[in-house]
Structure 1
Amino acid sequence: MRFDPPLIPATLLRRYKRFLFDAELESGELITGSCPNTGSMRGLTTPGSKCYLTSHVSATRKYAHALELVEADGTLVGINTGRPNRLVEEAIDQGLLGSLGAYAKRSREQKYGVNSRIDILLEDRERGTAYVEVKNVHFCRSPGLAEFPDSVTARGAKHLEELGDMVAAGHRAIMVYLIQRDDVDRLSLCRDRDPAYAAAFDRAMSRGVEACAIRCKITPEQISPELTVTIEESGLNSLV
């Protein structure tokens, strides 16, 4: 996925109120923009960090700029949580996700579970139905290791339970972790920051939910799914 129009380089000054950030453009202009990530963004909000912004002038937008990439630990990290679903679809089309590309029909944001929407729904007369949940990953505190989540996510635990329910109903369910940084080669659950999520993951695996992790290649020009990486968890049902 290429960035069109091209991203604008800047220096991050601060991120605040979850939805906002201040930055200095290369021209010296100070701007306030929107942050398309409501999570903690742990390790990615250091003042003075190099960052890249999208720019869209529209009468319906309060802020022309949005935060897209932040440089951390010597690498570019994608923070836009609106990107992962599309990137996972690209990974499916590229054959990175096993048999998921063989399903005849694909749709997005379909209602299921209890007041939830599945990110990607796959349907096929012979293969049946597969529910694909996507989580954005950008947290890294040990070299080469991505971790999820970086803070408590009751919503994420709920999604794992609902995926297990789909398996119990006779369907297929897959948890995909989309890693928006390319300096890692494996993923692990962040059990110390959210034990409840880790327990929900273990239960989901015991019920037959599958899981995989995709690492992206990121440059200021584009972001693209690159390869699958190992998930370091016992009891894992790897994607087939």
Structure 2
Amino acid sequence: MDLPTPLVRGRLVERYKRFLADVLLDDGSIVTAHTANPGRMTGLVEPGRRVVLSESDDPRRKLRFTWELLRLGPHWVGVNPMHSNALVEEAITRGVVPTLADHDELRREVPCEGHDASGRIDFQLRRGTRRTWVEVKTATLVEPRVEQGAPGKVAQFPDAPSARGRRHLEILRDRARRGDRAVLCFVVQRSDVDEVTPADAIDPLYAQTLREAVHDGVEVLALGARVGPRRMWLDRTIAVGLSSQPSRKPARSRSR
């Protein structure tokens, strides 16, 4: 998918109040950008990082700019979780995800019977009477492997306690128990991760609920993105680790 345009570049000054970031643009001006990621963004919000913002001329918006990418070493990293659903839909439509290819109808934001208005799942895939429910989550917390000397990096979800995430797991679990196919799909908007795990040390209840949901038939899929300065796309499947070994708890990010 192409990122929204126009795009401008700068350096991060500070991310604060969860949804705001001050950025020094390359033209010397300082702007405040909307941050769509409500999590802690641990390891990503150090001042001085190169960032990419999209600019909107919609007069209804309070902020013209949205934080889209940051530069982390040699890699661009996507920081806008609102793009993950579009990435997954694009990948499904193009047949990039073989395990989600068997359908002839795709519906978005589908309410689940037996749940209140908040009980919507991102996608429903249908073929005849067969239904597959797909909930998308963006994993942004990334750390080196805990094992001494082990190569690669691991993405963890969530990066902050997530009651909403647990609620979606319970809905998927209910769908699986009723005979539908239910899939939790983690998206990692970066290219240097080779495994996704639940963040036991941050939200042990979510991790426990995830393992129980898998026991009851929920499938877990993780997809990694190739990210460039103007576009990103899902290009690979990432391993999912569900062992009960606790992950390390990262330090809290700064806020004001």
Whether TM exceeds 0.5 here: the answer is: yes
Match of 2:13 in 1: 13
Match of 1:208 in 2: 217
- 1:170 pairs, out of 179, 187, 192, with 179
Query: Secondary structure of 1:82's partner?
Result: helix
Report 1:33-182 matches (<5 A). 33-112=33-112, 113-114=115-116, 115-125=118-128, 128-142=130-144, 143-182=152-191
Any unmatched runs of 5+ in structure 1?
Answer: 236-240
The whole-number CA distance in structure 1 between the counterparts of 2:36 and 2:204 is 26
Tell me the CA shift for residue 72 of structure 1.
Answer: 2.7
The whole-number CA distance in structure 1 between the counterparts of 2:222 and 2:85 is 13
Tell me the CA shift for residue 63 of structure 1.
Answer: 1.3
Tell me the CA shift for residue 4 of structure 1.
Answer: 4.1
Tell me the CA shift for residue 234 of structure 1.
Answer: 4.6
1:56-95 CA distance string (max 9 Å, x none):
1121112111100122354221111211111011221233
Contact 1:43-1:72 at 8 Å conserved across structures = no
- Stretches of 4+ aligned residues off by more than 6 angstroms: none
The whole-number CA distance in structure 1 between the counterparts of 2:121 and 2:11 is 36
How many pairs align?
234
Match of 1:238 in 2: none
Deviates more, 1:196-205 or 1:32-41: 32-41
Q: Which amino acid aligns with 2:27?
A: S
Cα distance, 1:66–1:222 mapped onto 2, change above 3 Å: same
Give the fraction of aligned pairs with identical amino acids, expressed as a percent: 34
The whole-number CA distance in structure 2 between the counterparts of 1:133 and 1:198 is 16
The whole-number CA distance in structure 1 between the counterparts of 2:33 and 2:157 is 26
Match of 2:233 in 1: 224
Query: Secondary structure of 2:194's partner?
Result: strand
Tell me the CA shift for residue 157 of structure 1.
Answer: 1.2
The whole-number CA distance in structure 2 between the counterparts of 1:106 and 1:224 is 19
Cα distance, 1:83–1:89 mapped onto 2, change above 3 Å: same
Structure with more of its chain in strand, by fraction: 1
Match of 2:31 in 1: 31
The whole-number CA distance in structure 2 between the counterparts of 1:4 and 1:30 is 20
Match of 1:188 in 2: 197
Query: Secondary structure of 1:192's partner?
Result: coil
Contact 1:6-1:221 at 8 Å conserved across structures = no
Tell me the CA shift for residue 220 of structure 1.
Answer: 0.4
Q: Which amino acid aligns with 1:123?
A: R
Query: Secondary structure of 2:2's partner?
Result: coil
The whole-number CA distance in structure 1 between the counterparts of 2:179 and 2:107 is 19
The whole-number CA distance in structure 2 between the counterparts of 1:98 and 1:209 is 17
Contact 1:8-1:53 at 8 Å conserved across structures = yes
